[in-house]
Structure 1
Amino acid sequence: MRLNSKVFAGSVAAVAALALTACAPGETTPTTTSSASNSSSAPPGITDVTVGVLTSQSGPLAGYGQQYLDGFKAGLDYATDGTNSVNGVSINVEYRDDAGDADTAVTAAKELIGSGVNILAGTVSSGVALALAEQADQNKVLYISGPAAADAITGVNHYTFRSGRQSAQDVATAGTFLNDIEGKTITVFAQDTAFGQGNAAAVDAILGAKGATVNSILVSEDVTEFTTFAQQVIDAKPDLVFVAWAGATSGAMWQALSQQGVLDQIPVVTGLGDSATFGAYGDASSKIKFLNYYFPGAPDNAVNTAMVDSITAAGGAPDLFSPDGFNAAIMIVHAIESGAGDVEAMISSLEGYTFDGPKGSITVRASDHAMIQDMYQVQLVANGDSYAPELLATASAADVAPPEMP
């Protein structure tokens, strides 16, 4: 086993938050225990455990689903030294396509649970994750969600964990582009949709709680000309602009902000998605400040190298959500090592668990199962006819910790 386990014993300084659906701890002092597991061997009679992995293999989120699956397979190989077993227990995996649809996912989950599966993992859709969390609670099975970022997943119930970051960590990372948030003005520039309104509310809750004055400019979804709105941003005279935008008008919006001088006059921050989006910003790329969850060149550690090499060797390409799958596999192997299918024992083993993932040290917060981890400040730089991310700084897990849920 190549797992580094610690029990998290420190408290985490929390920041206030609401949900963010973008793109995409005070100091903590974990104490070390002597072993990653609570037992050295499986209970008598337990020779294999089946894990059900549900994520988008088709539909609009299939690309994200593939990133997760690539990471999961690499992580399972890594955490078991290529044996797909731990402490004499074989780990079998059944993969199901949720197609980004909650009903499809619930049907598959019920079939898996009905066949005796009591460990579920995956999904890139927050709506699907919340539906699976409900199934986990009703059927008392362990569920580790995937890239789904909704803050509501954290602390939703006793049985649900996550293997990636959540939206509150995105917003908190945006705030790290200001040296001191107290007294600063932040303008949220977004579409007047549930997506945009949610972002505005999240920035107000998280960064407003740190002393910022937050206002918003919300633009109707059918607008295609953004010159007037770009001028409104300038007139607001903010210290930072947080952009939350999605869809076909993204290129025109960024072009307007660039042409009207917004990007030259005011720091503008947005979330950097997966590699398929790197070319979407055009000439504005070099002027935008990006918050980022992961890109392959950001971390510098042996685990990240192992994941990148494994995915590449299998013919894949490591990307934004690869760590979510890799982390999930590490967590599942640790849970099976400790509990071998006993749900309560597996849950206990994961609460407070600290391990080395592709992004470095990660702690599963015991109180609400949040993933306490570093985030990144990134810029896009021209690379021939395309753009590539370059790390500017690492935002520490302490500075971007999500609020502790009751």
Structure 2
Amino acid sequence: MYKLNTLAATVLATLATSLAAPAMAAADLKIALIAGKTGILETYAKETETGFMMGLEYLTGGKMEINGRKLKVIVKDDQSKPDLGRTLLAEAYGDDKADIAVGTTSSGSAIAMLPVALEYKKILIIEPAVADAITGDKWNRYIFRTARSSMQDALAAASTLKAGSVAFLAQDYAFGKDAVKAGKEALAATGSKAQVIHEEYAAQNTTDFTAPAQRIFDALKNKPEPRLLQIVWAGPNPMNKLADMKPERYGIILSPGGNILPVMKTWKNFAGTQGTIFYYHGFPKNKMNDWLVAEHSKRYKAPPDMFTAGGFAAASAVVTALTKANSGDTEKLITAMEGMEFDTPKGKMSFRKEDHQALQSMYHFKIKKDQKNEWDLLELVREIPASELPLPVRNKR
């Protein structure tokens, strides 16, 4: 009897101890964010990081966890250098054991990173790099992109131009060349009768635009109207310098793509000038954007910018995918993400199953004449829905 009582007591004590002991905490979900935080694109990168962290905060209700697992964000600066981007992504997947990665700012660096995702068989969400090759001939099944592509930019711009003559001024590297190629294809895809007359490429660090501008003016000046100079430029925008050379004497209209707020607020002298943009804080009307605008304005004394919204969209894709898959397992994530819809400050986006490109709306804008404050810059002409942007599938799946 004594032995039985002793055995029973031991079993009960062991059971009580096991019930009282806390369950082992689930492993953290690790997310690597790679961005060009130093170099010519550092402003874009810093906005992306701010938007990404605010997105995680909003979407997790401030808890920074998903299904009981803590989120750990590992931020790395690739300085917009392809070799460094490749090395840092391998480090993130290998040494840091990241479940998923997001990046990067430069298209050249992003393209260099694509084979690393394939090698490690891990998800890479591209934000904000835009080169079409990312979801085209350089794509692999581990690549998803929340950023808009060069072709989406081009289709939006082309949808506003029905006839006339066009010249392009772009930077002489992957982003610029990709954008001009897309621009020419987009005019044909949207049925525009506008003719591309000239392409001009200048170094990223160009400060004197006299010679390239004169070549553009000479090429355009006697061509059918409207005569449009489409500016495709990352970083400090040359629009003011081009305007100083008085293109209007040749009947040439400057057409800027959307840019970051500090650049666009220097365009106040160009009221009525039109262009297209993928995000402007005053355009989308939804709860998520309302929170982002209010909270960002409170914290940073300025509204969120284009790349802030992009970072937020990437965070939404991450949270939606990890929640839906209930796992950091790559195959489960791919299954969850193909065709997945997710909310962003722009409204809903969805990953196209064929190439994992996020389909999204764009915006046709006009520079405001009467600006109430330093950030009240653009007037919405029209939201261009994704259904009106005939984005081709370019990858070989």
TM-score of the two chains, using structure 1 as the length reference: 0.79
The within-5 A match list for 1:225-374 is: 226=213, 229-230=216-217, 232-239=219-226, 241-246=228-233, 250-260=239-249, 262=251, 269-281=255-267, 283=269, 285-315=270-300, 317=302, 318-339=304-325, 340-374=327-361
Take 1:312 and 1:72, find their aligned partners in 2: how far apart are those partners? 16
In structure 1, the partner of 2:169 is 190
**Are 2:62 and 1:75 equivalent residues in the alignment?**
no
**Are 2:87 and 1:104 equivalent residues in the alignment?**
no
Q: CA deviation at 1:228?
A: 7.0
Can you give the 5+ residue segments of structure 1 that lack an aligned partner in the other structure?
1-43
Q: CA deviation at 1:61?
A: 1.1
| Alignment check: 8 A CA contact 2:150 2:179 kept | no
| Alignment check: 8 A CA contact 2:26 2:69 kept | yes
- Give the SS at the match of 2:377: strand
**Are 2:111 and 1:124 equivalent residues in the alignment?**
no
The within-5 A match list for 1:72-221 is: 72-115=52-95, 116-155=97-136, 156-178=139-161, 181=162, 184-190=163-169, 193=172, 198-211=178-191, 212-219=193-200, 221=202
Can you give the 5+ residue segments of structure 2 that lack an aligned partner in the other structure?
1-23, 203-207
Higher Rg of the two aligned structures: 2
Take 2:159 and 2:306, find their aligned partners in 1: how far apart are those partners? 20
Take 2:230 and 2:156, find their aligned partners in 1: how far apart are those partners? 13
Take 2:152 and 2:109, find their aligned partners in 1: how far apart are those partners? 20
Farther-moved stretch of structure 1 (83-92 vs 141-150): 83-92
The within-5 A match list for 1:49-68 is: 49-68=29-48
- Matched to 1:329, the amino acid is A
Pairing partner for 2:387 from 384, 398, 403: 398
- Matched to 1:189, the amino acid is F
Farther-moved stretch of structure 1 (381-390 vs 391-400): 381-390
Instruction: Show structure 1 runs of 4+ deviating over 6 A.
Output: none
Take 2:368 and 2:132, find their aligned partners in 1: how far apart are those partners? 31
Take 1:220 and 1:313, find their aligned partners in 2: how far apart are those partners? 40
In structure 1, the partner of 2:367 is 380
- Give the SS at the match of 1:236: coil
In structure 2, the partner of 1:48 is 28
Percent of aligned pairs with the same amino acid: 27
- Matched to 2:44, the amino acid is Y
Q: CA deviation at 1:237?
A: 0.9
Q: CA deviation at 1:281?
A: 4.0
Take 1:292 and 1:248, find their aligned partners in 2: how far apart are those partners? 15
Take 1:220 and 1:369, find their aligned partners in 2: how far apart are those partners? 30
Q: CA deviation at 1:342?
A: 0.6
| Alignment check: 8 A CA contact 1:96 1:108 kept | yes
TM-score of the two chains, using structure 2 as the length reference: 0.81
Change (3 A) 1:346 1:93: same
| Alignment check: 8 A CA contact 1:376 1:394 kept | yes
Task: Return the structure number with greater relative CO, CA threshold 8 A, min gap 6.
Answer: 1
- Give the SS at the match of 2:210: coil
Q: CA RMSD in A?
A: 2.6
- Matched to 1:368, the amino acid is D
- Corresponding pairs, count: 355
Take 1:137 and 1:238, find their aligned partners in 2: how far apart are those partners? 48
| Alignment check: 8 A CA contact 2:165 2:220 kept | no
Deviation per residue, 1:19-75 (Å, 9 max, x gap): xxxxxxxxxxxxxxxxxxxxxxxxx98432111111122222111011111110111
**Structure number with higher helix proportion:** 2
- Give the SS at the match of 1:398: helix
Q: CA deviation at 1:88?
A: 1.6
Take 1:357 and 1:146, find their aligned partners in 2: how far apart are those partners? 13
Q: CA deviation at 1:140?
A: 0.3
Farther-moved stretch of structure 1 (224-233 vs 98-107): 224-233
Q: CA deviation at 1:257?
A: 4.6
Q: CA deviation at 1:239?
A: 4.2
Farther-moved stretch of structure 1 (346-355 vs 395-404): 395-404
